[in-house]
Amino acid sequence: MKLGFIGLGAMGLPMTRNLVAAGHEVTVASRGRPPVDEAMAFGAIDGGTLSDVARSSEVLILCVPNSPDVVQVLDAVIPALAPGTIVVDCSTIDPDVERDQHARVADTGARYLDAPVSGGTVGAKKGTLTLMVGGDPATLDDARPALDPMAGLIVHVGGPGMGQVVKLCNNLIYAAQMVATAEATALAVRSGVDMAKLLEVLVHSTGDCVAVRTRLPVPGVIPDSPASNGWQPGFMTDLMAKDLDLALSYAARAGVPLTSTATARQALTAASTAGYGREDFSALAKVVLRLAGVPGVE
């Protein structure tokens, strides 16, 4: 299948690698030259301009940071879309903005899906991402060969924009988990609890959650956690903050109070202000630990 991929960031580059490995012909474009060169080294094709990538693609996949980036990319590619081409947006953006993009692309005779992903850079590398898809189910059926190599699970969640709504729901829960995990960690450390024993109890008790299992914020307890690896991001603090901003804004328009989400957003603000914006979002725990007077937090 002839695919295009725009946005070779921390997620997009490994997603592209999996598409090439599956035998697809993948033409790429990105803001910077280095990821394009890296993609070419594993078999992708330099597409040149955004419109050239669109012209060469049966399915065009976008993976860019935010709503304005998606709009800007579509401004460039819409004149080049052929009738029947499928555009799949794997970015995380505002649901209402996404619905507008569905309409813009449909007006050209092309088709559109919003398909934000969950699983972080680990899932992107392993090809085990969860895709939550909004749009026409028949379009998803046609696009599945292009999506399967990136995904462990693909779920059609509703019409235009609903993929984005579900993604924001997922991330606001994850952020709240991380704040609670950070606070529990600070309390346990200050009290002298053996953190390996705490982890053993939590994963077999009602406190079990993804944040505990993957991001308990004490070095050495979970070998592949960010805390044990210099806080390298699977999901950057600033990106989680962006997603919570999207959730808070959309919820305000929907008339839904998000009190725990607002609290988590403040914790992320503190982490970014402390210089952890490009570290994994679990680094918000470093702020909590410092406030708790835990020594040796870096």
Q: What is the pLDDT of residue 97?
A: 98
Alpha-carbon distance of 298 to 292, in angstroms, equals 14
The pLDDT value given to residue 240: 97
Nearest-angstrom CA–CA distance, 260 and 264: 6
User: Is 167 marked active-site?
Assistant: yes
Q: Where are the domains positioned within the chain?
A: 2-158, 165-291
The whole-number mean pLDDT for each consecutive block of 10 residues of the chain, a chain of 298 residues, reads 97 98 98 96 97 97 97 98 97 98 98 97 96 98 98 98 98 98 98 97 98 97 97 95 98 98 98 98 98 86
Q: What is the pLDDT of residue 166?
A: 98
How confident is the model at residue 297, as a pLDDT? 77
What local confidence, expressed as pLDDT, does residue 298 receive? 72
pLDDT, residue 295, reads 84
What is 2-158's CATH topology?
Rossmann fold (3.40.50)
Name the active-site residue from 125, 126, 167, 242.
Answer: 167
Do the beta carbons of residue 193 and residue 271 sit within 8 Å? no
**pLDDT (0 to 100) of residue 158:** 98
Q: What is the pLDDT, as a whole number, of residue 147?
A: 98
Look at the block and give the residue holding tokens 């953190």: 195
State the CATH architecture for 165-291: Orthogonal Bundle (1.10)
Contact predicate 166/133, CB 8 Å: no
